[in-house]
Amino acid sequence: MKGIMVKQQDGQPILSWGEVMDVTFGPEEVLVDVRATAVNRADLLQARGGYPPPPGASHILGLEMAGVINAVGEGVEGWQPGDRVCALLPGGGYAEQVAVPARMLLRLPDEWSFAQGTAVPEVWYTAYVNLFLEGDLKPGETVLIHAGASGVGTAAIQLAHITDATVFVTAGRADKLAACRDLGATQAINYKEQEFLEIVLAATNGQGVDLILDPVGGAYLERNIKALRPFGRLVNIGLLSGGRGQLDLGLVLRNRLHIIGSTLRNRPPSEKIQITRQFEAGFWHLFHTGELKPIIDRVFPIQEAQAAHAYVARDENIGKVILTL
């Protein structure tokens, strides 16, 4: 089969479409013909050599996919060749075929494209896990979502809004701020022109927010802690600005704050299956009704994966960047 291969040239990753090893699938798995996958920040990091896949996972890039089942393992029930599906992956999405545990599958709505399907698993599961399972977000609380126009951000805004939380976001362009407001953000802060800490404190009468979802990391740590109200939770899901920052432990103690680190990719398959089933039970029907929607910025042919990665690296996108086969 064909897939995306990564080679290093002058310290930079070069992505090309070519022959890769065929995949095999087990008795509890299905073989899927991939029709679409997506670009995530983790893919960019892995391509640079900084984010190796979990043990046993494919070394091919791609953390989600949508496609058509080609064949099913002998132990699989409820699925058959021809079914249209999407799924979270530990890797392997940038290829013509991928093996997926059957319990990880979601069935695509009939009216959905494959691009819409692949725009869900990675960012929506990430948003769901870190808002609710890690962050314990409750109706009526206030959440600050950094990088609000990202894939995870656009998902998190919608999930928090539909839960009747008040949503603050940061982003760096006027069109991104407008998109966040359209999705349900009450306060949209241009971090390049405004100090988010000052605006958050002013908007909450000096109290701060209940929860912060942050992919930025070190550069925001000190301000994030100051932006939390007593018993507030900071969930760090990325280190775009690095892994080191200033931390006032006295403030953490006095306000009884929670600092939570969270990743999705390196969780065991059993946990990812549980997350999939919980997300399906709680929210998947809202995609069928249109109350929740995946946000897609651009679609590239997979042969143009290099250009798609460059586009995301420049922080151009609002929502997801999709690769189609």
Residue 193 sits in the same domain as residue 289: no
Cα torsion angle, 235, 106, 304, 22, sign: positive
Which of 231, 261, 291 is the C-terminal boundary of a domain?
A: 261
**Are residues 294 and 320 in contact, defined by beta-carbon separation less than 8 angstroms?**
yes
pLDDT digits (tens, 9 = 90+) for 105-147: 999 999 999 999 999 999 999 999 999 999 999 999 999 999 9
pLDDT digits (tens, 9 = 90+) for 263-279: 999 899 999 999 999 99
| Residue 322: predicted pLDDT | 98
| Residue 240: predicted pLDDT | 79
Residue 165 sits in the same domain as residue 279: no
Residue 283 sits in the same domain as residue 243: no
The total number of structural domains in the chain stands at 2
Residue 320 sits in the same domain as residue 285: yes
Burial call 59-96: b when 16+ CB within 10 Å, e when fewer? ebbbbbbbbebeebbeebeebeeebbbbbbbbbbbbbb
With a cut of 90, say whether residue 19 has pLDDT above it.
yes
Residue 140 sits in the same domain as residue 25: no
pLDDT digits (tens, 9 = 90+) for 166-186: 999 999 999 999 999 999 999
Residues 87-96, mean pLDDT to the nearest whole number:
97
| Residue 84: predicted pLDDT | 98
Q: What percent of the chain has pLDDT over 90?
A: 92
| pLDDT-derived band at 243, boundaries 50, 70, 90 | confident
Which of 261, 282, 306 is the C-terminal boundary of a domain?
A: 261
pLDDT digits (tens, 9 = 90+) for 45-83: 999 988 889 888 999 999 999 999 999 999 999 999 999
| Residue 114: predicted pLDDT | 98
What CATH number should be reported for the domain holding residue 62? Answer: 3.90.180.10
Residue 277 sits in the same domain as residue 252: no
As a whole number of angstroms, the distance between CA 79 and CA 72 comes to 7
Tokens of 93: 């999405």
| Residue 241: predicted pLDDT | 79
Residues 204-216, mean pLDDT to the nearest whole number:
97
Burial call 3-39: b when 16+ CB within 10 Å, e when fewer? bbbbeeeeeebebebeebeebebeeebbbbbbbbbbb
Strand pairing report for 29-39 and 64-72: antiparallel
Residue 105 sits in the same domain as residue 151: no
Which of 241, 261, 281 is the C-terminal boundary of a domain?
A: 261
| pLDDT-derived band at 201, boundaries 50, 70, 90 | very high
Residues 296-312, mean pLDDT to the nearest whole number:
98
| pLDDT-derived band at 43, boundaries 50, 70, 90 | very high
Residue 11 sits in the same domain as residue 130: no
Residue 74 sits in the same domain as residue 90: yes
With a cut of 90, say whether residue 229 has pLDDT above it.
yes
Q: Is 69 helix (H, G, I), strand (E, B) or coil?
A: strand
What CATH number should be reported for the domain holding residue 191? Answer: 3.40.50.720
Residue 146 sits in the same domain as residue 236: yes
With a cut of 90, say whether residue 242 has pLDDT above it.
no
Count of other CB atoms within 10 angstroms of residue 268: 9
**Are residues 78 and 101 in contact, defined by beta-carbon separation less than 8 angstroms?**
no
The whole domain housing 53 covers 2-120+266-324
Residue 91 sits in the same domain as residue 194: no
* Average pLDDT value over all residues in the chain: 96
Residue 111 sits in the same domain as residue 198: no
Residues 5-31, mean pLDDT to the nearest whole number:
95
